[in-house]
Amino acid sequence: MENPQSWHGEGANQPWLETVDHITYVVRPDTIKKWGWWYIDALGGKLTLRSDDVDPKGKSSMMLWTIDFGKFSIALVAGIDREEKSHVTVFEETHGDRTVQHVAYRPREERFEEFLEHTKKHGMKLQSAPFSREEGDYSVRQVFANPSHVESNPGKVGFDEFEARAGEHSRTTFSHKTGTDLYRMAQALMNKDKRRPMLDWSFMPEGWEPPEVKS
C-alpha cells in the first residue's frame, strides 16, 4: 500500500484543524446544575441552550446544556434512563462524573471536503456520512469518527467530532433538534454494539518518527 503523505512534509505549515469547536462533558442529572454554575458563574460562560430532555418520547434520553465562551463552547450532557439505559449513563458509570466524552474540532470550512479525503487517506473511519444542518445564521457540516478503540462497547468509548462552520469567526451553536438527532445516533450505535475503530493503523508508515521539536 502506498504510504500517505507525511504530516510534516508538504503542507506542514497549514494545519487542517482551525480550533476547538466544543468539548462535551458527561455529568450526572444530580450534578449538571453544579457544573453549570461552575462554567457560567465562576468562569463567565453564557448559557445558550438548556434542554432537560432532548428525546422526551424516547426509551432513553439525555439532558443537554451548552455554554458559550466566544471562541469555543462547553456541552454538558447527563443520561436519562427509562425503558433502556442511556449511552450517556453508561459512559458516566464507566468513567465517572464530568469526564470528556468527545471533543469537536473545527476544520477550515472551505477545505472540509479536502479534509475528509485527507483523513481517509490516513486511515480514519467514520460513524456515518457527513451531514449538514442550519443553525442560526450559519450552515454547519459535521461528521463523527468511530470510537477510538474496540475493546469496549461504543457507549463506553470516547470519540472525535469535526464541525465546519460557514462564516469567518462563526460562533459555536447548538439546537434542541440537533441534540435529539445526535443522541439517537449514538444510542443506536451502543445498542447495536458495532465495534469499528477510528483509525486503521496500517496506514501509518513503518518506522514513522515525529519531527524535531521546533520553538
- In single-letter form, the type of residue at position 81 comes to D
Q: Is residue 3 part of a domain?
A: no
Q: Is residue 173 part of a domain?
A: yes
* Assigned C-alpha cell, 78: 447527563
124 three-class SS: strand
How many structural domains does the chain have?
A: 1
- Integer CA distances (angstroms), 2 to 5, 32, 64, 150, 203, in order: 9, 48, 43, 26, 9
Q: Is residue 11 part of a domain?
A: no
CATH number at residue 49: 3.10.180.10
Q: Is residue 92 part of a domain?
A: yes
pLDDT per residue, tens digit, the chain (215 aa), is: 444 444 444 444 579 999 999 999 999 999 999 999 999 999 999 999 999 999 999 999 999 999 999 999 999 999 999 999 999 999 999 999 999 999 999 999 999 999 999 999 999 999 988 988 877 667 889 999 999 999 999 999 999 999 998 765 456 667 778 788 889 999 999 999 989 999 999 999 999 999 999 87
Q: Indicate the pTM of the whole model.
A: 0.88
CB 94 within 8 A of CB 156: yes
Q: Is residue 10 part of a domain?
A: no
In sequence order, the β-bridge partners of residue 67 are: 47, 74
Residues 6+ apart with CB under 8 A from 32: 63, 65, 76, 78
Alpha-carbon gap, residue 145 to 20, rounded angstroms: 15
